[in-house]
Amino acid sequence: MKYKNLRFLLNKRPKGMPEDDCWLLDSQEITDLKNNEILIQTEYLSIDPYMRGKMNDGLSYTPPLKIGEVMVGESVGRIVESRSKNFKIGDLVTVHQGWQTHIRAKDSDASIIKVPESKLQSSVFLGAIGMPGRTAYYGLNYVGKPKAGETLVVSAASGAVGSVVGQLGKLLGCKVIGIAGGPEKSEYVTDILKFDQCIDYKNEDLEAKLRDYCPEGIDIYFENVGGEITKDVSKLLNKGARVPICGFISKYNSPNIAAEETPFHVLGSLNPKPQHRFFVVTEWLNQFERTTEILHNHIKNGDILYKETMTKGFENAPQALRDVLSGKNFGKQIIEI
């Protein structure tokens, strides 16, 4: 059977917010598979902040996308054809092969992960039980190293990563303070996710509220944002504080990110310096299966709640990325294909 694959290719490098002409919507026909290949029909596509950095032609922790390459991203989908002993037709998998409606892949591709049997909608394996959930789990537990009774501050607290970080922190006995943009997101963080407090940085005095909510200082700051928020938090970091640096979305559209003040500059200038480092989820690749099971159980038990912004239509992926970069989305941004 022939399948038509739609895919977004990087067409040009953006200056600031990426416009539609940064991508080319391409179509290709997928015909007979070779031995040890599978064909995945995508159900949902994940949209994440890191994608913006991959569009730049600059130094980063991974090589930049080349012009003409498929836009980077993770999907969840069903196998519709298989010439593999490891996968059968009907298997649900996640795969990191970019913005495509049909993904032809070798069964040896390390990014392909079988999704466990679940009554949940498969999109959750791109969010709270997927890369963002695992990022939250590893960053908090292995870099943040929380102890019961400590104060944890989480920026972008209503987002896909931050929301899981805070809920895990509460399960571990931490006092958790969120930072989010706008009253709706802040109320969600306190009323639904049950953080101890949440500061609306758009409408409240962040530094004053931090001092009010963290009278004994801050032991762990989970960094997602950068900029002025990092500066305000840094003033209250305790001796021995830990700062897992997941990202700094406030600077991602900068025309010259190398010249920007980053969390490394802010934290590195402190005396004493807090323990801080940038981390990526793939450092713990060998634990993905176990972590997926842990997060799946937390969600089934109601320990972790999550929110998705669902955008229908593959063609709307570019706008969805702009929504993520400007904070218009709420929770995990997903494209329904």
pLDDT at 260 (0 to 100): 76
* Residue 289, amino acid: E
Do the bridges between strand 275-278 and strand 175-180 make them parallel or antiparallel, or are there none, so unpaired? unpaired
Q: Which residues of the chain are modeled with pLDDT < 70?
A: 59-61, 253-259
The four Cα atoms 201, 204, 205, 208 give a dihedral, to 10 degrees, of -100
Return the H-helix or E-strand segment holding 309.
Answer: strand 308-312
Residue 265 one-letter amino acid:
H
Q: Which residues partner with 42 through β-bridges?
A: 77
Which H or E element spans position 45? strand 37-47
CA–CA dist 162, 2 (Å, integer): 41
Q: Counting runs of H as helices and runs of E as strands, what totals does the chain give?
A: 9, 15
pLDDT of residue 1: 74
Close Cβ partners of 130 (under 8 Å, ≥ 6 residues apart): 46, 74, 76, 94, 124, 292
Fold of 131-282: Rossmann fold (3.40.50)
Q: What is the token pair recorded at 324?
A: 């993520």
Residue pLDDT, tens place only, 192-230: 999 999 999 999 999 999 999 999 999 999 999 989 999
Output phi, psi for 239, to 5 deg: -60, 130
Number of alpha carbons in the 13 Å side-chain half-sphere of residue 67: 7
Q: Which residues of 7-21 are buried (b: 16+ CB within 10 A; e: fewer)?
A: bbbbeeebeeebeee
CB atoms < 10 A from the CB of 271, how many?
4
Q: Could you tell me whether strands 218-222 and 102-106 are parallel, antiparallel, or unpaired per DSSP bridges? A: unpaired
Are 245 and 268 in contact, with CB atoms under 8 Å apart? no
Furthest-apart CA pair in the chain: how many Å? 65
* 225 contacts 200 by C-beta, under 8 angstroms: no
Residues in the chain: 337
Q: Looking at residue 59, what is its pLDDT?
A: 64
User: Which among 202, 258, 254, 262 has a CA at the least distance from the CA of 231?
Assistant: 262
Domain boundaries, the chain: 3-126+307-336, 131-282
pLDDT value of residue 60: 65
Query: Class assignment of domain 3-126+307-336?
Result: alpha beta
Give the number of other Cβ atoms within 10 Å of residue 48's Cβ.
23
**What is the distance between the alpha carbons of residues 157 and 153, in angstroms, rounded to a whole number?**
9
pLDDT at 258: 65
Say what the pLDDT of residue 257 is: 63
Note the pLDDT of residue 37: 98
Q: Where are the beta strands (DSSP E) in 247-298?
A: 275-278
pLDDT value of residue 276? 97
The pLDDT score that the predictor gives to residue 63 is 84
- The structure's pTM equals 0.90
Strand partners, 197: 177
Contact 75, 126 (CB under 8 A): yes
The first and second tokens of residue 199, run together, are 């500061």
